[in-house]
Amino acid sequence: MTTKETRLIIDLKALAENYKTVKSQLKPETKIMGVVKAFAYGTDSEIIAHKLVDYGVDYLAVAYTEEGVRLRNSGIQTPILVFYPQIEELSNLIDYRLTPSVYSFNFLIGLNKHLNELETIDFPIHLKINTGLNRLGFDLDELDEIYEEIQTNKRVKLSGLFSHLAASGTASQVDFTKQQIEKFQIARQFFIHKFGETFVSHLCNSSGIFNYPEAEFDMVRAGIALYGYGNNEAENAQLIPVSNLKTVIAQLRTIQKGESVGYERMFKTEKEAKIATLPLGYTDGIARQFGNGKAEILVNGHKAPIVGNVCMDTLMVDVTGIDCQEGDDVTIFGKEHSAVSFDKFQQTIPYEIITRISQRVTRVIEI
């Protein structure tokens, strides 16, 4: 069985609408950085990046240097920020005009040394400040030391300053988020005092855009919102899913009361049931955690639970009482049945669901 019938439809009209929605939340002068890491959240990074450039995006962002290299090779000229650059990749960063996020002294010193060997000056960087996520970035008590390293070597130029909000979509964490904003302001004012307003400041992620307009600064980073999801119902209501995962019913069978379905016989029927087998499984990105009634797909307008364990290349669905035939199209998740609806018990977040879809699944562009 192949996955020809299984495809991820990428809805570019939805992408355009989501971009407009993001832009409508902002002041006219606020710049937008479009985040296209992780294959543009499981879609197609090159196609999405080119579309965002067409829409007027000011910056793009990727996780790793190799992602930025691919975008440059596809013809993208827009500035690209690399969130997690490595010392070993400095040559590609420089050759492909990629802007590194500088989040540690180890990286900053290594970058200065490499630029010194090349006799390069004013290489643009964005400094990452840790304001509470405690993942990557400099702490506030390191600001003077950062400034000294930059001024002593004069190889890099501060072109951006940013941090990342830990819980901007969580109502119970408003006070913490405001503390993060205040800490970022301290770092921002420090560098404005040292360098003047010569760099862009960006703090808001997708939920920050919707919930903290006072923290727009010069630019925002739009990630999951561009792909149709927020972090709560209010945000989701304003957005349209871009990724639509569809497949077909490969086989239907009727099983009797007491029979089981799938490995380890995890699902046993309490009455006669109609079971549909679909040609996608955990290799394609549908995790085993979604088996045994933990997720629902859409079959001819009706929700149907995944039953039994998800297999490597297939999964089974209980379609008892649903009018359907072999070969019928079904929706795993998408515009008419979001990743939130698919994940019946909210075991994870839409980010994980949409980015897990493997490259074995054919991408189809819908204009």
Q: Binding site: residue ranges?
A: 135, 312
Tell me, what DSSP letter sits at residue 244? E
Please say if 263 is a catalytic residue.
Answer: yes
Q: Environment class of residue 230 by beta-carbon count within 10 Å: exposed (0-12), middle (13-18) or buried (19+)? A: buried
Q: Helix or strand or coil: residue 116?
A: helix
Nearest to 8 by CA among 243, 289, 292, 333: 243
DSSP-assigned states of every residue in 219-240: EEEE-GGGGT--SSHHHHTT--
Exposure on the CB side of residue 43, measured as CA atoms within 13 A: 31
Beta bridge partners of 59: 33
Please state, in angstroms and rounded to a whole number, the distance separating the CA atoms of residues 336 and 352: 19
* The one-letter amino acid at 179: Q
- 8-state DSSP, 288: G
Q: Is 2 exposed, middle or buried, given 0-12, 13-18 or 19+ CB atoms closer than 10 A?
A: exposed
> Residues within the annotated binding site for substrate?
135, 312
- 20, 113, 178, 263: the catalytic one is 263
Cα gap 351→280, rounded to integer Å: 19
Close Cβ partners of 168 (under 8 Å, ≥ 6 residues apart): 177, 204, 205, 207, 208, 211, 212, 231
- Dist. CA 223–CA 351, nearest whole Å: 10
Cross-strand bridge partners of residue 157: 124
Catalytic residue among 37, 128, 183, 246: 37
Q: Which of 101, 88, 92, 222 is CA-nearest to residue 163?
A: 101
Query: Distance between CA 179 and CA 154 in Å, rounded?
Result: 32
Determine the residue type at 34: G
Tokens of 98: 């990629």
Residues 253 and 275 sit within 8 Å (Cβ to Cβ): yes
Catalytic residues: 37, 263
